[in-house]
Amino acid sequence: MVTLFRKIFIKNYNDVQNQKVRAAHGKLGAWFGIFTNFLLALMKLTLAVLLARQNNWVFSAAIIGDTINNFSDMASSIITLVGFRISEKPADKEHPFGHQRIEYIAGLFVAVLVVVAAGELLIQSVEKIIAGEEITFDVLTIVILGVSIAMKAMQGLFYRGLAKAIDSSTLKSAALDSFGDCLSTGVILISAALSLIFSWGFLDPYLGLAVSLFIIYSGIRMIIETSSPLIGEAADITFVDKIVKDVLAHEKIEGVHDVICHSYGPNSYFVSLHAEINQDVSFVDAHEIADELEDEMKKKYGIVITVHMDPIAVGDPVTDAFHKEVADTLKELDPKISIHDFRLVPGVETEKMIFDVLLPYEDKKDAKPVCEEAVYECLNKHFANRDKKYVFQLKFDRPFAE
Q: What is the CATH number of the domain that holds 241?
A: 3.30.70.1350
Is the domain of 55 the same as that of 200? yes
The CATH number for 128's domain is 1.20.1510.10
Q: Is 217 in contact with 176 (CB distance < 8 Å)?
A: no
Residue positions counted in the chain? 402
Structural domain boundaries, residue 187? 2-231
Three-class SS string for 70-138?
A: HHHHHHHHHHHHHHHHHHCCCCCCCCCCCCCCHHHHHHHHHHHHHHHHHHHHHHHHHHHHHHCCCCCCC
Q: Which residues pair with 177 in a beta bridge?
A: none
Is the domain of 162 the same as that of 34? yes
Q: Is 229 in contact with 106 (CB distance < 8 Å)?
A: no
- pLDDT (0 to 100) of residue 365: 60
> Using alpha carbons only, how large is the chain's radius of gyration in Å?
29
- pLDDT (0 to 100) of residue 140: 87
Is the domain of 33 the same as that of 95? yes
Q: Is 328 in contact with 338 (CB distance < 8 Å)?
A: no
Is the domain of 76 the same as that of 169? yes
d(CA 371, CA 62): 54
pTM recorded for the entire structure:
0.63
d(CA 238, CA 274): 18
- pLDDT (0 to 100) of residue 182: 86
- pLDDT (0 to 100) of residue 366: 55
Q: Which of 204, 231, 258 is the last residue of a domain?
A: 231
Is the domain of 308 the same as that of 340? no
To the nearest 10°, the Cα dihedral for 83, 180, 113, 203? 160
Is the domain of 120 the same as that of 11? yes
- pLDDT (0 to 100) of residue 152: 92
Is the domain of 376 the same as that of 348? yes
- pLDDT (0 to 100) of residue 263: 83
pLDDT tens-place values along the chain, 402 residues long: 787 888 888 888 787 777 678 778 888 888 999 999 999 999 989 988 888 888 777 777 778 878 877 887 887 788 778 777 776 777 788 888 877 787 778 778 877 877 887 787 788 778 878 877 777 778 888 899 999 999 999 999 999 998 888 877 778 878 888 887 887 788 788 878 888 888 776 777 787 788 788 778 877 887 887 788 888 887 778 888 899 999 999 989 988 988 888 888 766 788 999 999 998 999 999 999 999 999 999 888 888 899 999 888 887 888 889 999 999 999 988 888 999 889 888 877 888 999 999 988 876 665 566 788 999 999 999 998 887 888 999 999 888 765
Is the domain of 192 the same as that of 322? no
d(CA 107, CA 118): 17
Q: How far is CA 333 from CA 322, 336, 376, 394, in A?
A: 17, 9, 11, 16
Is the domain of 322 the same as that of 309? no
Q: Which of 231, 261, 279 is the last residue of a domain?
A: 231
When divided into structural domains, the chain yields a total of 3
Is the domain of 353 the same as that of 368? yes
Task: Mention every residue, 6+ apart, whose C-beta is less than 8 A from residue 21.
Answer: 10, 11, 12, 13, 15
- pLDDT (0 to 100) of residue 364: 60
d(CA 261, CA 200): 57
In degrees and rounded to multiples of 5, residue 337 shows phi and psi of -70, 140
Is the domain of 182 the same as that of 239? no
Q: Which of 273, 296, 313 is the last residue of a domain?
A: 313
Q: Is 223 in contact with 207 (CB distance < 8 Å)?
A: no
Nearest to 278 by CA among 231, 306, 323, 313: 313
Is the domain of 196 the same as that of 93? yes
Nearest to 73 by CA among 29, 9, 104: 29
